[in-house]
Amino acid sequence: MEETYDKLVERLGEVQDIAAAAGVLGWDQRTKMPAAGAQARADQLSTLTRLVYERFTSDEVGSMLEKLGPWGESLEYGSVEASVIRVARRDYDKARRVPIDLRAEMARAGALGEPVWREARTTSDFALFLPHLEYAVELKKRYIECFQPVDEPYDALLDDFEPGVKTAEVRAVFDELKAGLVPLVAAIAERVDAVDDSALTGDFPVAQQEQVEGTILRAFGFSDDEWRVDETAHPFASKGGPQDVRLTTHHRDQNLTSLFACMHEFGHGLYEYQVDRSLYRTPLGRGASLGVHESQSRMWENMVGRSLPFWEHFFPLVRDAFPAQVNGLDAEAFYRAVNRVRPSLIRIHADEITYNLHIILRFELEQDLVGDRLAPADASEAWDAKIEEYLGIDVPDVADGVLQDMHWSGGAIGYFPTYALGNVISGQLWERMQRELPDLTGQMRNAEFGELRAWLAEHVHCYGRTYMPRELLEREVGGGLDPQPLLRYLNEKFGAIYGLNGA
Amino acid sequence: MEETYDKLVERLGEVQDIAAAAGVLGWDQRTKMPAAGAQARADQLSTLTRLVYERFTSDEVGSMLEKLGPWGESLEYGSVEASVIRVARRDYDKARRVPIDLRAEMARAGALGEPVWREARTTSDFALFLPHLEYAVELKKRYIECFQPVDEPYDALLDDFEPGVKTAEVRAVFDELKAGLVPLVAAIAERVDAVDDSALTGDFPVAQQEQVEGTILRAFGFSDDEWRVDETAHPFASKGGPQDVRLTTHHRDQNLTSLFACMHEFGHGLYEYQVDRSLYRTPLGRGASLGVHESQSRMWENMVGRSLPFWEHFFPLVRDAFPAQVNGLDAEAFYRAVNRVRPSLIRIHADEITYNLHIILRFELEQDLVGDRLAPADASEAWDAKIEEYLGIDVPDVADGVLQDMHWSGGAIGYFPTYALGNVISGQLWERMQRELPDLTGQMRNAEFGELRAWLAEHVHCYGRTYMPRELLEREVGGGLDPQPLLRYLNEKFGAIYGLNGA
Q: Is B207 in CB contact (< 8 Å) with chain A? A: no
Q: pLDDT for A332-377, tens place per residue?
A: 999 999 999 999 999 998 999 999 999 999 999 999 999 999 999 9
Chain B residues whose CB is inside 8 A of the A241 CB are: 37, 39-41, 43-44
The number of residues making up chain A comes to 503
In this prediction, residue A327 has a pLDDT band, given cuts at 50, 70 and 90, of: confident
Q: Is B438 in CB contact (< 8 Å) with chain A? A: no
- The pLDDT of A155-162, averaged and rounded, is 97
CB contact under 8 A, A44 and B21: yes
Q: Residue B503 pLDDT > 70, yes or no?
A: no
DSSP B302: I
pLDDT at B289: 98
How far, in Å, are A152, A159, A375 from residue A144 at the CA level?
9, 11, 17
Q: Which residues of A are catalytic?
A: 265
Tell me the residue type at A314: F
Chain A residues whose CB is inside 8 A of the B42 CB are: none
Average pLDDT value over all residues in chain B: 96
Nearest-angstrom CA–CA distance, B77 and A148: 57
Rounded to 10 deg, the angle between the A417-436 and A290-298 helix axes is 60
Share of chain A above pLDDT 90, in %: 95
Q: Residue A57 pLDDT > 90, yes or no?
A: yes
Question: In chain B, what is the straight-line distance between the N-terminal and C-terminal CA atoms, in Å?
Answer: 67
Q: Collapse the DSSP code of B281 into the 3-class scheme (helix H, G, I; strand E, B; otherwise coil) and give the result.
A: coil
Q: Other CB atoms closer than 10 Å to residue B369's CB: what's the count?
A: 25
Chain A residues whose CB is inside 8 A of the B13 CB are: 43
Share of chain B above pLDDT 90, in %: 95
pLDDT at B327: 83
Nearest-angstrom CA–CA distance, A248 and A269: 10
Chain A residues whose CB is inside 8 A of the B18 CB are: 44, 47-48, 51
Q: Which residues of B are catalytic?
A: 265
- The pLDDT of A98-109, averaged and rounded, is 91
Q: Residue B265 pLDDT > 60, yes or no?
A: yes
Return the residue of A nearest to B11 by Cα. A47
Q: Give me the phi and psi of A421, to 5 degrees please.
A: -60, -40
The number of residues making up chain B comes to 503
Q: Residue A111 pLDDT > 50, yes or no?
A: yes
- Residues 263-282, chain A, touching B (beta carbon < 8 A): 280-281
CB contact under 8 A, B32 and A228: yes
CB contact under 8 A, A40 and B14: no
Q: pLDDT for A246-259, tens place per residue?
A: 999 999 999 999 99
Chain B residues whose CB is inside 8 A of the A39 CB are: 241, 243
Q: Is A471 in CB contact (< 8 Å) with chain B? A: no
Nearest-angstrom CA–CA distance, A447 and A260: 16
Q: Residue B356 pLDDT > 60, yes or no?
A: yes
- Under 8 Å CB-to-CB from B46, ≥6 apart: which residues? A17, B107
- The pLDDT of A150-175, averaged and rounded, is 97
* For chain A, the helix, strand and coil percentages under 3-state DSSP, each to the nearest 5: 70, 5, 30
pLDDT at B126: 97
CB contact under 8 A, B240 and A48: no
Choose the closest CB to A20 out of B24, B32, B40: B40
Q: Is A207 in CB contact (< 8 Å) with chain B? A: no
Cα dihedral across residues B472, B476, B481, B487: positive or negative: negative
Tell me the residue type at A383: W
Q: pLDDT for A2-33, tens place per residue?
A: 999 999 999 999 999 999 999 999 999 999 99
Share of chain A above pLDDT 70, in %: 100
pLDDT at A96: 96
User: Of B471, B470, B485, nearest to B428 (Cα)?
Assistant: B485
Chain A residues whose CB is inside 8 A of the B242 CB are: 40
User: Of B329, B319, B314, nearest to B214 (Cα)?
Assistant: B314
Choose the closest CB to A25 out of B24, B39, B242: B24
In this prediction, residue B203 has a pLDDT band, given cuts at 50, 70 and 90, of: very high
pLDDT at B502: 55
Per the CB < 8 A criterion, the answer to whether A318 and A367 are in contact is: no
What SS3 string covers B461-476? HHHCCCCCHHHHHHHH
Q: Is B71 in CB contact (< 8 Å) with chain A? A: no
Return the residue of A nearest to B46 by Cα. A17
CB contact under 8 A, B40 and A280: yes
CB contact under 8 A, A44 and B14: no
Categorise residue A340: left if φ over 0, alpha if ψ from -120 to 50, beta otherwise.
beta
Nearest-angstrom CA–CA distance, B225 and B242: 12
Number of separate helices (H) and strands (E) present in chain B: 20, 3
How far, in Å, are A9, A61, A68, A471, A475 from residue A81 at the CA level?
9, 15, 10, 18, 20
Return the residue of A nearest to B244 by Cα. A37
A337–chain B nearest CA distance, Å:
36
Q: Residue A501 pLDDT > 80, yes or no?
A: no
* For chain B, the helix, strand and coil percentages under 3-state DSSP, each to the nearest 5: 70, 5, 30
Chain B residues whose CB is inside 8 A of the A228 CB are: 32, 34
pLDDT at A502: 54
CB contact under 8 A, B13 and A244: no
Per the CB < 8 A criterion, the answer to whether B124 and B403 are in contact is: yes
CB contact under 8 A, B281 and A35: no
Nearest-angstrom CA–CA distance, A7 and A246: 31
Chain B residues whose CB is inside 8 A of the A14 CB are: 47
Choose the closest CB to B244 out of A40, A243, A245: A40
Torsion of CA A480, A486, A491, A494, to 10 degrees: 180
Chain A residues whose CB is inside 8 A of the B41 CB are: 240-241, 244
- Under 8 Å CB-to-CB from B115, ≥6 apart: which residues? none
B269–chain A nearest CA distance, Å:
14
H helix runs in A437-468, sequence order: 440-445, 450-459
Choose the closest CB to A242 out of B32, B40, B240: B40
Nearest-angstrom CA–CA distance, B27 and B412: 19
Q: Is B240 in CB contact (< 8 Å) with chain A? A: yes
Largest CA distance in chain A: 70
Choose the closest CB to B37 out of A25, A39, A240: A240
Q: Is A161 in CB contact (< 8 Å) with chain B? A: no
Q: Quote the distance between the C-alpha of residue B103 and its chain's center.
A: 23
Q: Collapse the DSSP code of A474 into the 3-class scheme (helix H, G, I; strand E, B; otherwise coil) and give the result.
A: helix
Q: pLDDT for B87-127, tens place per residue?
A: 999 999 999 999 988 998 999 898 889 889 999 999 999 99
Q: Residue A503 pLDDT > 90, yes or no?
A: no
How far, in Å, are A116, A205, B204, B300 from residue B207 at the CA level?
40, 19, 9, 23
Nearest-angstrom CA–CA distance, A128 and A130: 6
B338–chain A nearest CA distance, Å:
32
